[in-house]
Amino acid sequence: MASGNVLHVLYNDDDILMKAVKELRSKHYRIIEVYTPFPVHGLDKAMGLPYTRIAICSFIYGLIGLSVATLMMNFIMIEDWPRNIGGKPSFSYLQNMPAFVPIMFELTVFFAAHLMVITFYMRSKIWPFKKAENPDVRTTDDHFLIEVDAANHDLDELSKFLYDTGATEISLIHNEEHA
């Protein structure tokens, strides 16, 4: 990139934002990032972001939780300290498995949920005490912001195009990070 010029384009409606993203992509402008106050359904597809494999992680974490539950209950209730509780035999895991189903379910959900939170934070690079990267505080309330790469583009023509898409405010930012 020749320069680090970035346009911050504000919108006040999510439908207008979606239309603008589609128009920007059709004209082959590079969208650096989009900031929204709430999740906008379909925005990832409109931006052309690749499909995420995070659901596969959740399934694997659930399987880990199920395995831990199975191994834990087999060791504790069958091998280590077998007891006759309510007339149930204590020498076979399979005979006791119906009583273990709630524990297996709970540990599956527990592992999947907690490990997914950790995975999400690591994938999103959200660390404790990390400085917020939000460029405009209004995007946490009721505005939507698109960061558009302004390098190698006529700023007047690009600004006119963005106002035609429904932008309410455009500001030019010189950002060394994008240089």
**pLDDT at position 173 over 50:** yes
If we measure between CA atoms, which residue out of 20, 26, 18, 17 comes closest to residue 45? 18
pLDDT for position 88: 67
DSSP state letters, 9-59: EEES-HHHHHHHHHHHHHTTPPEEEEE-SS--TTHHHHHTPPPP-HHHHHH
Report the alpha-carbon angle 20-6-151, nearest 5: 95
Convert the pLDDT of each residue in 65-117 to its tens digit. Answer: 999 999 999 998 888 887 776 676 667 788 888 888 999 999 999 999 999 99
> What share of the chain has pLDDT > 70, as a percent?
92
Residue-range domain boundaries for the chain: 5-37+142-178, 54-124
Q: What is the largest CA-CA distance in the chain?
A: 82
Convert the pLDDT of each residue in 125-160 to its tens digit. Answer: 888 888 888 888 898 899 999 999 988 888 889 999
Range list of β-strands (E), the chain: 5-11, 31-35, 144-149, 169-174
Instruction: Please state the CATH superfamily assignment of the domain spanning residues 5-37+142-178 in this structure.
Output: UreE, C-terminal domain (3.30.70.790)
CA atoms in the 13 A half-sphere facing the CB of 32: 20
Global model pTM greater than 0.85: no
d(C-alpha 80, C-alpha 78), whole Å: 6
d(C-alpha 165, C-alpha 167), whole Å: 6
d(C-alpha 115, C-alpha 107), whole Å: 12
- Averaged confidence pLDDT in the chain: 88
Inter-residue contact 148 to 158 (CB < 8 Å):
yes
